[in-house]
Amino acid sequence: MKLKYYVAIASVMALIIGVWCVKKLEDNQVPEEDYLVVGIAADYAPYVSINHNGEYEGFDIDVARALADRMGKKLVLQDLGSMAPLFMALDQGTVDLLLWGISITQERVKKVDFIPYHGQMIVTYPLIFWGAIPIEVSTLADMKGMRICAEPASAQSAVLDRYQNIFTIVPTERVDDAFLAIQQGKADAALVDPAIAKKFKASFPEIQILEVPLAPEDQSYGMGIPVKKTNTQLKTNIQCAIDELKVGGVIKQLEEKWAVA
């Protein structure tokens, strides 16, 4: 419950400090040559992907551009491939922040600070199957002896780790690899983010989705922008910029554009 209060308080504070943020950002515009280095990873549509022209696109790419513009910085995107390298880069200080549809969880809040920017509380995760959901399966505990895909270091992987003695966890570096694994019969199911399940279902009617309940410690409190706990000034500046983007309706417009609302 503490995390729930954390997110709620952050939302309230966003309204209170709105006017202050405007002045703060105006008074502290950084030089043009300053950069905002954002860690991302491709193959995570609709949040981040590469289009036919070889350019990054997606909800989080547009958020990153709007954020950098609001902060008066030049945007630098660093594609680090997957979740684990992203958090490693943040810890080492080679990126300023991460923008990759990252869920706010109790475990992650212990390690980094988050600026909430999108999404609602999640109390279930979609377990996706190809063709049909086994009759005997209604929870993760029912997947005894089966194989479930998840991306290492993801919130979904952390959930599966609690059931290691029940089924086999198949690590897949990319979400698309998890989809191919269940399609080709190399795995029985994949635990993914709700937006990803929605994308797969829209493209492939063969996908079947089972919503599995999450324990309180595994529930997500929306998506946030991770920043190192020691980088307090950057966190303040990002919070101010996100508040302005929300008040100005920019975040909502981008949610509608990328169908992640």
pLDDT profile of the chain (261 residues), mean per 10 = 54 51 50 82 92 96 98 97 94 97 92 96 95 94 95 90 90 90 96 90 95 90 96 96 97 95 77
Does residue 100 sit in the same domain as residue 131? no
pTM for this structure? Answer: 0.76
Does residue 163 sit in the same domain as residue 178? yes
Domain of residue 30, residue span: 2-121+221-257
Distance between CA atoms of residues 148 and 169, nearest Å: 5
Distance between CA atoms of residues 147 and 188, nearest Å: 5
Distance between CA atoms of residues 116 and 11, nearest Å: 8
Does residue 113 sit in the same domain as residue 50? yes
What's the CATH number where 168 sits? 3.40.190.10
Does residue 211 sit in the same domain as residue 229? no
Q: Which two tokens stand for residue 5?
A: 């209060």
The number of folded domains in the chain is 2
Distance between CA atoms of residues 195 and 231, nearest Å: 30
Does residue 152 sit in the same domain as residue 228? no
Does residue 110 sit in the same domain as residue 235? yes
> What pLDDT, in 10s, does the model give residues 55-88?
999 999 999 999 999 999 999 999 999 999 999 9
Does residue 145 sit in the same domain as residue 210? yes
- Cα–Cα–Cα angle for 51, 55, 57, rounded to 5 degrees: 65
Distance between CA atoms of residues 44 and 71, nearest Å: 25
Does residue 75 sit in the same domain as residue 178? no
Does residue 16 sit in the same domain as residue 80? yes
Q: Respond yes or no on whether the N-terminal peptide bond of residue 31 is cis (omega within 30° of 0).
A: no
Does residue 112 sit in the same domain as residue 157? no
Distance between CA atoms of residues 207 and 21, nearest Å: 45
Give the SS3 label for residue 21.
Answer: helix
